[in-house]
Structure 1
Amino acid sequence: MDTKKLVALVVVVFLGFWMFTDPSGLADTSKAAASSGWDLTTKAFNGVIDFVGAMD
């Protein structure tokens, strides 16, 4: 079995176990991760906009 497939399988099993044992904890963690990802994306695009604007 490929290493990537094995790692993906372990992650899926872990997330499934977490979902059944502590669904509210998984939801809170997912919400926090999504919020952090959105903040990072926003900062990256603002940086690109500032950079392109400064080239004038």
Structure 2
Amino acid sequence: MKKAIVAVVVVFLGFWMFTDPNGLADTMQAGGEQTWELTQQLFAAVIDFFGALG
């Protein structure tokens, strides 16, 4: 089952890359930026938490 899901995702991304490479690049860039912002927020929250303990 997992292999089938992975295969479908790979085929979908390959099709998307072939038909609209700029759209895929924009989507991946936006996703990367959101991931980085969430990572920064997480580390800031962890720092604040441990700072409040001390």
TM-score category of the 2 structures, normalised to the smaller one: over 0.9
Normalised to the residue count of structure 1, the TM-score between the two structures is: 0.95
Normalised to the residue count of structure 2, the TM-score between the two structures is: 0.98
What's the % identity of the aligned pairs? Answer: 59
Q: Give ranges in structure 2 of 5+ residues lacking alignment.
A: none
Moved over 6 A (4+): none
Please provide the CA RMSD for this pair: 0.3
Aligned residues between the structures: 54
Q: Give ranges in structure 1 of 5+ residues lacking alignment.
A: none
Residue type matched to 1:50 in 2? D
